[in-house]
Amino acid sequence: MNSTPWQDETALIHGGIERSQYGETAEALYLTSGFVYESAEQAEARFKGEDSGYIYSRYGNPTVSLFEHRIAELEGTETCFATASGMAAVFSALACQLNAGDHIVASRVLFGSCLQVVTSILPRFGIEYTLVDGADLEAWQQAVKPNTKLFFCESPANPTLTLVDIVGVANIANSAGATFVVDNAFASPAVQNAKTLGADIVVYSATKHIDGQGRCLGGAICCTNDFFKEKLQPFVRHSGPAMSPFNAWVLAKSLETMSLRVDRMSASAASLAAALQQMPFVERVAYPGCPSHPQSELAQRQMKSGGSLLTFKVKGGKSETFAMMNKLNLIKISNNLGDSKSLITHPATTTHRTLAGEEREICGITENLLRLSVGLEASIDLITDIEQAGS
């Protein structure tokens, strides 16, 4: 996807480096909030946009630019703006382009905070929404209204791993004149290129696979230069969701190993999904890379692998499910994902707790559903841990 002569893995190691006068090997960290000007005239020219240097790290910073450069190259978009968290990316990408009276169509299964933005925060500013079954193309089409300005989805969706046919929804969004924003965090840029599939804007929680080691919050908005200049830049400069240079440095270094990590996590997730299907305490497993996933054909079309996340349902209800989680030794109970450590989550009582019980059931977020983010441990150790916890 990237515009360098190199493959993505190489571009993520060498792309965008501007070495300082010291010729450092690793990328420099410019931990500075502001920048000094050679003269008052230069300061004036920067603010007028006639001099291209940095002004203030809320607007831009050399270390953050390096991270943005690498993400834009990887996604194949003209530009990228890095944010302090994934939610800052989601909120800014949506809010910067919507006005009171506009309408959003979004898939029903979304990360809890994304759902809150669509169904609770934006409506306070006069923005309407319709939630649809993300897997049903006809439902996306039916939901279009004269004031529809934006389509939004996650694929795979958090937590059920339901897929959205990104090519199909992009076509509907295009003919409706709506901007299609895809949250690609669950797949990661190593597994799915949402831009190539037709998304207009791709957002990431860099906190997940991009960091991959559970250290920094971060987010990214990948878009065109025109969208950035006309919609996003005026919004983010004044509302302030910028990424810190320190986090940008950590995340840029993490990109060097992302494909290795995600490939290994995905291979382990596939082994675990197969093993879980044989375990007597497991009712059902969902993994996009398994032929038993109801959308496995779509997964093969739009994902390079099944990814690092899977879900499974424990036979019984909440108490059996909690008992199994509490017996795990190696796998940690946490709501983060994409980490080198395998992490297990009970979405109904944590990440998706704010959904009404009925809504959770419609989405398939039952009391016995667990989401497992598969890390970099030896897969046999993870399988052994789950086996003993379920016995």
Task: Give min distance, CB of 185 to ligand PLP, in A.
Answer: 4
- Of residues 67 through 96, those in contact with ligand PLP by CB under 6 A are 85-87, 90
Query: How crowded is residue 94: how many other Cβ atoms within 10 Å of its Cβ?
Result: 25
Which of the stretches 111-119, 160-168, 241-249, 375-383 binds ligand PLP when contact is defined by CB under 6 A?
111-119
Which of the stretches 52-60, 140-148, 180-188, 268-276 binds ligand PLP when contact is defined by CB under 6 A?
180-188
C-alpha to C-alpha distance for 57 and 32, rounded to whole angstroms: 7
How deeply is 34 buried, as exposed, middle or buried, from its count of CB atoms within 10 A (0-12, 13-18, 19+)?
A: exposed
| 3-state SS, residue 381 | helix
Contact call for residue 207 and ligand PLP (CB under 6 A):
yes
Contact call for residue 183 and ligand PLP (CB under 6 A):
yes
Residue ranges of the alpha helices (H) in the chain?
Answer: 8-14, 40-48, 62-75, 86-95, 112-116, 137-143, 166-176, 194-197, 225-227, 233-239, 245-255, 258-277, 296-302, 318-327, 357-363, 379-390
| 3-state SS, residue 27 | coil
Contact with ligand PLP (CB under 6 A) among 205, 244, 302, 308: 205
**Residue number, 182 or 383, with CB nearest to ligand PLP:** 182
Which of the stretches 129-137, 178-186, 236-244, 358-366 binds ligand PLP when contact is defined by CB under 6 A?
178-186
What is the β-pairing status of strands 103-107 and 148-154? parallel
**Residue number, 197 or 389, with CB nearest to ligand PLP:** 197
Contact call for residue 114 and ligand PLP (CB under 6 A):
yes
**Residue number, 57 or 247, with CB nearest to ligand PLP:** 247
Contact call for residue 245 and ligand PLP (CB under 6 A):
no
User: DSSP letter at 370?
Assistant: E
**Residue number, 2 or 192, with CB nearest to ligand PLP:** 192
Contact call for residue 311 and ligand PLP (CB under 6 A):
no
Going by C-beta distance under 8 Å and a sequence separation of 6 or more, which residues neighbour residue 23? Answer: none
Contact call for residue 217 and ligand PLP (CB under 6 A):
yes
Contact with ligand PLP (CB under 6 A) among 81, 91, 111, 228: 111
Task: Give min distance, CB of 270 to ligand PLP, in A.
Answer: 21
DSSP string, 241-253: -BPPHHHHHHHHH
Which string of x and - marks every residue 139-158 that binds ligand PLP (by CB under 6 A)? ---------------x---x
Contact call for residue 97 and ligand PLP (CB under 6 A):
no
Contact call for residue 186 and ligand PLP (CB under 6 A):
yes
Going by C-beta distance under 8 Å and a sequence separation of 6 or more, which residues neighbour residue 315? Answer: 280, 281, 282, 283, 368
Q: Which two tokens mark 303?
A: 């994902």
Contact call for residue 268 and ligand PLP (CB under 6 A):
no
Q: Tell me how long the chain is.
A: 391
Q: Which two tokens mark 384?
A: 């052994």
203: left (phi over 0), alpha (psi -120 to 50) or beta: beta
DSSP string, 166-191: HHHHHHHHHHHT-EEEEE-TTT-TTT
Q: How many residues bind ligand PLP (CB under 6 A)?
A: 16
- Of residues 47 through 66, those in contact with ligand PLP by CB under 6 A are none
Task: Give min distance, CB of 95 to ligand PLP, in A.
Answer: 15
**Residue number, 86 or 390, with CB nearest to ligand PLP:** 86
Q: How far apart are the first and last CA of the chain?
A: 46
Chain contacts with ligand PLP (rule: CB under 6 A): 85-87, 90, 111, 113-114, 154, 158, 183, 185-186, 205, 207, 217, 219
